[in-house]
Structures are given as C-alpha cells and as structure tokens.
Amino acid sequence: MDILLAGVGGQGILFVTSLLAHAASRRGWPVIASETHGMAQRGGTVVSHLRLGRTHVGPLVPLGKADLLLGLNEDEGLRHLGYLKKGGSLLVEEGCGKLGLPSVKAYIAMMKLKAECIPAARKAREIGYPLGANLILVGKAASLGWLPFSQRELEGALRELSRPNLVEKNITSLLLGLSSCETGASTGPCKSSLQS
C-alpha cells in the first residue's frame, strides 16, 4: 500500500508516518518511509511518503500511484492530488471547503477517487487537544476502510509511540475519528463500524 501524507509543519505528519509504519512493522510488513520538508518550522509544506508491504521499490511514491492521500491541511492535500492513482482515496481536513470546488470535483470524478473531508481541527479543539487533529484523520481513514489496520492495532502502536503524558489524549483523538460520521464534502457513505 502506498500512502502520501501532506500538510504543514507542526501538524504531526511525521508522527502519523511513524504510527502507520510501526503498525505495519508489527505485522511483519516491510516499510519504506521518506519525508520531504519545505520550511517546516515556519508552517511550510511537509510531505511524507509511506510504502507498506512493498519490496524492491524506491522510497518515494511515484505520481499517480498512491492508494491513499491524507491531507492534514486542505491546501496541501489538494496540491498533491496528482499522486493518487485512479480509484484512490482522499481524506483531507475540511478547511475552507475546497473539495467542493467545481475543478476539484471534476478531477475527483475523472479519476474515480473516493474523497472525504472532516473537520478534524475543529473536533480536536472541541476536546481541548488541538494536536490530536492528525489522529482524528487517521481514525476516520481507518473507519472508512482506507487503512489496513484495526482499532486494536492502531491503539497498540499509539501506546508504544506516544509520550506517557499524551497516550490517553492521542487514543481519545483516534477514537473520535474512528467513531465520526460527520464529514464535509463526500463521494461515498460514512462507514464508522471498524472494530478490532
């Protein structure tokens, strides 16, 4: 599985990359991860390429080959749409509703993409943990069946990777995404029945 994560510095892209890589390695899958950074410390672009269960491939997901694009920032998610393969899956932060723009909708339809947006940043603020928006998106992707990991696998990886003082907040954020049926623009029904 090829995953591209796109956002800006400070959104926890590298943590999510580590989480998904850790869950895959716990299954015994080969993992290749690579990050590209702009001026990340100043809110610049951060992109992470994650290749799970693949051998004899390069570290970067080629254009038009990603199975899933997680856009922790709406603009960065849409800027990297070209990485998705035909029929791939797109999950982005709701942002300003750009997923509903005519040109974006036309591209999604042409490429037969499954696309959803979720107000992850707002939900994270509502629970008093703004840093959890990235994990809300991961939970939502898992609930849609776009990630190959169960709730138990993701929680286990989170417990192993999180700082002790953040474990429960991180798990709460993940579970919020897993149970969320609230979306913005969508090209398919919400499926929130992921279990271990």
pLDDT tens digit string along 106-156?
Answer: 999 999 999 999 999 999 999 999 999 999 999 999 999 999 999 999 999
> Is 124 a domain residue?
yes
- Of 33-37, 39-43, 76-80, the range with the lowest mean pLDDT is 39-43
**Does residue 40 have a pLDDT over 70?**
no
> Is 194 a domain residue?
no
71 pLDDT tier (thresholds 50, 70, 90): very high
Closest CA to 168 of 176, 18, 11: 176
Task: Please tell me the pTM assigned to this model.
Answer: 0.87
Residue 149: which domain range?
2-179
Cβ(148)–Cβ(1) below 8 Å: yes
Q: What is the pLDDT of residue 191?
A: 37
> Is 192 a domain residue?
no
